A and B are shown apart, each in its own frame.
Chain A
Amino acid sequence: MVSQITSFSRNGVSDWLVQRVTAIILAVYTVVVVAILLFEPQLGYAQWRALFSATWMQIFTLITLLSTCAHAWIGMWTAGTDYLRPHALGPGANGLRLVYQVSCSMILLVYMIWGIKILWGN
């Protein structure tokens, strides 16, 4: 068996589980943030700043950002390996898929570092 060197955890079952666990984390964060925005429509800068200065919110946000990156890596990998194939697109597809996968990974890495800077750098 050839191992998939571009998949998130090099293991389909592990990727499957990571996809589900991160989905739940992303869902909970979405509900919490939407609830805050809905119940505080007149939210000002001071309150917003205080919220993101709270340790629990910083940890929650960073875990969510990590989850986003893992979840999106697995999702974009799955879509790429389904559609960017020589069978569907011709002989150039393997090279194209590698470029696509490396690009997705780099963008997610940028998101991760950018997020850390937003949370702790500003």
Chain B
Amino acid sequence: MKNDSRPINVGISDLLFRFRWPLPALTSITHRIAGVVLFVGTGFALYALDLSLSSESGFEELRGLLLSPFGKFISWGLLSALAYHFIAGIKHLLMDMGVAETLEGGIFAARVVLFLSVIAIFLNAVWVMQW
């Protein structure tokens, strides 16, 4: 007789195709992905800081880079990763304090994170386009 309540080993393919992803799981994996993007992005930020403080011409060179379409796109991407990681991180800290730990609370908090992040990512685009 097959026992369906037996524990199973969960592999990558199970995660990708077998289970439905609830909203809090999606916001959680996005938080991780944004974190990895920022790990790489820190290198970009240090490069920019180094260039901006190296000399007056370095500062102007960075200004030129940030004003180019590609520079604006990279800036928007990194600022958006930062905004998302920031907002989802605040949710994490609140949950550590016992806020929104129920199933309904978790789904609601995930929706708030998505809502605020969409606004922040839009505002980042406005900022980057007009700087």
Binding site for B on A (CB under 8 A): 20, 23-24, 27, 30, 38, 41, 44-45, 48-49, 52, 68, 72, 75-76, 79, 83, 87-89, 104, 107, 111, 114-115, 117-118, 122
**Shortest Cβ distance from A118 into chain B, in angstroms?**
5
- Bound-state CA distance A25–B99 (Å) is 21
In the complex, the answer to whether A48 meets B59 with C-beta atoms within 8 Å is: yes
Whether A75 and B39, one on each chain, are in contact in the complex, defined by CB atoms closer than 8 angstroms, is yes
A72 and B39 contact, CB distance less than 8 A: yes
Question: What is the bound-complex CA distance between A117 and B36, given in angstroms?
Answer: 24
Q: Is the CB of A118 within 8 A of B49?
A: yes
Residues from chain A with a CB closer than 8 A to the CB of B43 are: 107, 111
B53 touches which of A88, A107, A118 (Cβ 8 Å) = A118
Which residues from chain A contact B38 at a C-beta distance below 8 Å?
72
A24 to B93, CA, bound (A): 9
| B5 at interface, CB cutoff 8 A | no
**Distance, CA A88 to CA B12, complexed state (A):** 6
Which residues of B lie under 8 Å from residue A38 when comparing CB positions?
127
Instruction: Pick from B32, B46, B60, B93: contact of A115, CB below 8 A.
Output: B46
- B101 interface residue (CB < 8 Å to A): no
Task: Find the A residue at minimum CB distance from B47.
Answer: A114
Chain A nearest CB, measured from B81 CB (Å): 12
Asked if B42 and A23 sit within 8 Å, CB to CB, the answer is no
The chain B residue with its CB closest to the CB of A45 is B59
Within 8 A of A (CB), among B43-86: 43, 46, 49-50, 52-54, 56, 59-60, 82, 86
Smallest Cβ distance from B45 to chain A, in angstroms? Answer: 9
A-B contact pairs, 27 of them (CB 8 A): A20-B96, A23-B89, A27-B86, A27-B89, A30-B82, A45-B56, A49-B53, A52-B49, A52-B53, A72-B39, A75-B32, A75-B39, A76-B36, A76-B39, A79-B36, A87-B9, A104-B39, A107-B39, A107-B43, A111-B42, A111-B46, A114-B46, A114-B50, A115-B49, A117-B50, A118-B46, A118-B49
